[in-house]
Structure formats: C-alpha cells, structure tokens
Amino acid sequence: MAWQAMRLGRRLPRAPPRDAPEAARLEAACGGSTRLSPGMSHVRVLLAWCALSSCLVSTGAIDFWSLDDDYNKNLPPGKNMVVSVSLFINRVSSVDENKEEIAIDVFLQVYWQDPRVHLLGNRDHVELTWAQRHSFWVPDLYIRQLRDMRMVQVFQEMASMRLYANSTFRVSIGATVIIKCDMDFDLYPLDIQRCAVDFSSYKYTVDDMTFRWRDDPALSFPSDFGDGYRLPKYVVSFAAETEEQVIYYGEGNHSTARLMITLGRELQSYLLETYLPSSLFVIISWGSFIVNPELVPGRMVLLVTTLLSLVTMFDTVRNNSPNALELKCIEVWLISCILFVFVALLEYFVVLFAMRYDKNWRRSKAQNSLGASQNFKGQNEIIIHVVDKESWRAWRRGHVRHAAPFRPRPEGLLPCRSAQSRVVRGGTAAPE
C-alpha cells in the first residue's frame, strides 16, 4: 500500500510540507519501512497513513486502551476490590492415593475490574497477548492446596488476556493442576474423601481483596460429564461453595473461593475380589463341623488350607491398599474371617483332645472295674472243707451271704481249694 501511495503521489501536484512531524512519527513507528517526504500532499499522507496503520497493528505499536496518568501497575485499583473465579473442568487425569494427590485438567478464568484502564473505540473487548500482562496490575492468585501446575502448550502456551469495554480484565489459562488432598483411609474401602481447594490472595487481606465464584456459571463441564467423572476406583464430583470463606495465613484473614472435590469409591471390585471370597472361605470352614472327627487328614486339610488362603488375601490387601494410621475397615473384616476359621480349627483340636481323653478314661475305667471285681471275688471266696452237708447249710445261713449256690457232689463233699484252712467273711477257721 505504501508503494501504491508513492506511485499515486507522483501523479499529484506537490503540497506544502505541513505534515512533516506526523510523517516522521509514523516512519519511526514502522522502523523506516515507509519513507515520507516533507512535501507530501494530503492524499499521499492519507494513503500512507492507511499503510502504516496496518503495519502498526501487526507490530502492536498501536494501543487500543488508555491508562490514567497516575496509573501504577504495582498497586491495586483500590480497596475492597472483587476478584471472580470460574473453572471449566475438562477431566480428572488421575488420583494417587499413596501421594494423596489429584490431577485435574482445567481452564481457569480470573476476572477483575480496573477503572484506571479504558478501552478505546467502540469495541466490546480486545485480545491482549500473554506478554502484555506485565503492563497491567494482575492479582496475586494463590491456591493453597496446589502441588504443581503445568500450563498446556501445543504451538504456544494456552493462556490469554482480554480487556472488556467496562474496564474488566479476564485471564484464561489452560493447565494441568495437581492438588494435594488430605485423605483419611480408616474406613477404606467404604470411605468418601472430601478435598477443599482454596483460591485466594497471599498478599492482600480481606479488607483489600475479596475472592468469590463467578455467577455465569462458577463451574462448567463437558457435555458428557453426567453425575461425575468415573474413574476405575472413584466417582469424582465438584461443587463450589457460595458462602464466603476466610483463612488466616499469619498476616491477617484472607478471603478465599473454595472448591469442594468429593471422591466416592466404587465398591463392585472390592465386593467381588475380597468380601465375597473371604465370606465363602468362612462358610467352607463351617462345613468341617459335619465331617467325622476321626477323619483327621480330611478335616485338617480343609481348615488349614482355608486359613492360609485368608492369611494370603490379608497380606495382599494390606500391601495394595493405601496407608492409614489405624486398621482399615477391610483389614478388620479379613482379621475377623481369619479368627472365625482359627476358632473352627481350635474347636477341632478340642474335639481331638476330648476323644483321646475319653478313650483313655474308658480304658482306665474298664481296668479298674476288672480289678475291683477280681478283688471282690477274692474277698468273698470261701475255702472250706466240711464233711457234713447239714453243718455246711447251717454255717452258710449264719455267716455267708451272696455265696454261690451249693452244688453237692455225689460223695457229699463240697469243693475246696485248700485243705489246710477255711476262709469265712469276717474271720478264718483253724486248719484241721
């Protein structure tokens, strides 16, 4: 365009050099790419100005805003200013239980109004480059639970700054945010984790700056969000607290906009992998009660195998579950299952001991009964030698009871074991 203006200028008559200062300024702005002579006419200056305007817009030399004379980018616009925050949550990348971290891909928008900056022209807004943010005052955003923040970058960093006609700035950043979440795993896997994320200022107190969520809307999600982001182990949901939150940092109270992240655990895998098998092991151990106690190998194999399986399951769950200060819920369950099987095994030991004791007791009782009967028989045995049957009957009626019935021999004599003595109950008879 500048070349066309120069060609068109040669066809027109010369004019007085009254546009020399403007020409010098435009030439300096474009770095001398278009030279204007002091003798340019009005048409030549107009055409050259059009060419230089395109050059200045492309190089950023023309500003579409104006600043107050007392503007200082190191000072906030004033007291009690409001900073609004909104989030577009793209997805939840991961949840690390061991490190207690949550990785989220978000687009963060921060809004504030600075009446010292004015937008020129009839534009609704103007896009600023990310490098131009250093020319304005920007709030010091502080995320208390932030562990790391990596800005998304393809051809360039995904960050922009916009100035609206009502002197409102908007900063938009696309980043992967890693949040530190204080988790409690005492009820694992029946636990529900709630993590608070606070957006505030670390320099300005609540008297100088107030953080709140933007109303249109505070949180936005993709169209396939549903009730929450479903991960292999969690269902993640988000909520913005509308009540004003205040945190004390040591230099005073600081206003904060709080985001609540709720992690609800999926229980299907734990029911199928841990709770159901452990319950079946306990039920199988109860089946050993109907096995004949005398079948020691079969019953011992059933109980010991079940006990070892539960111990192995407990060790696996303990190694794969997150750490906690106390016993977790699933560990208490497995310990209870192990105790049930151990009690069944202990009951079988008692049964074996009782069976062995009963056999020994019966054997000892039988031996004692046999010895007592032999002694009783020896004490009541009568060894006599009589000749007369009538005398024997008379003596038997007066001295002997519970004796064996009398069986006379043909010779009329009673059997005798010894001819030397007669033994009667309560005394002895003298030998013949």
> b/e string for 348-381 if b means 16 or more Cβ within 10 A?
beeeeeeeeeeeeeeeeeeeeeeeeeeeeeeeee
Name every residue whose Cβ is closer than 8 Å to that of residue 169 and which is 6 or more positions away in sequence.
111, 112, 113, 114, 117, 136, 138, 161, 162, 163
Q: 349 — alpha (psi -120 to 50), left (phi > 0) or beta?
A: alpha
Compute the distance between CA of residue 423 and CA of residue 379 in angstroms, rounded to an integer.
Answer: 9
Q: 81-266: which CATH topology? A: Acetylcholine Binding Protein; Chain: A, (2.70.170)
8 Å CB contact between 303 and 341: yes
Helix (H, G, I), strand (E, B) or coil at 174: strand
Q: Where are the domains of the chain?
A: 2-62, 81-266, 269-357, 389-429
Domain 81-266 and domain 269-357 have a common topology: no
Q: Is pTM, for the whole model, over 0.85?
A: no
Amino acid code (one letter) for 212 = R
- CATH number of the 269-357 domain: 1.20.58.390
Q: Residue 135 forms beta bridges with which residues? A: none
pLDDT 10s digit of each residue in the chain, 432 long?
A: 444 433 333 333 343 444 444 444 444 444 444 444 454 455 455 455 555 454 444 444 456 888 988 899 989 998 889 999 999 999 999 999 989 999 999 999 999 999 999 998 888 999 998 888 889 999 999 999 999 999 988 888 889 999 999 999 999 999 999 999 999 999 999 999 999 999 999 889 998 999 999 988 899 998 877 777 888 889 999 999 988 889 988 778 999 999 999 999 989 889 999 999 999 999 999 988 888 888 888 888 899 999 999 999 999 999 999 988 889 999 999 999 999 999 999 999 888 888 888 777 777 777 777 666 555 555 554 444 444 566 666 666 665 554 455 455 555 444 444 444 444 444 444 444
With 0-12 / 13-18 / 19 or more C-beta atoms within 10 angstroms meaning exposed / middle / buried, residue 294 is exposed
The DSSP letter of residue 36 is -
Beta carbons within 10 angstroms of residue 191's beta carbon:
17
Beta carbons within 10 angstroms of residue 306's beta carbon:
26
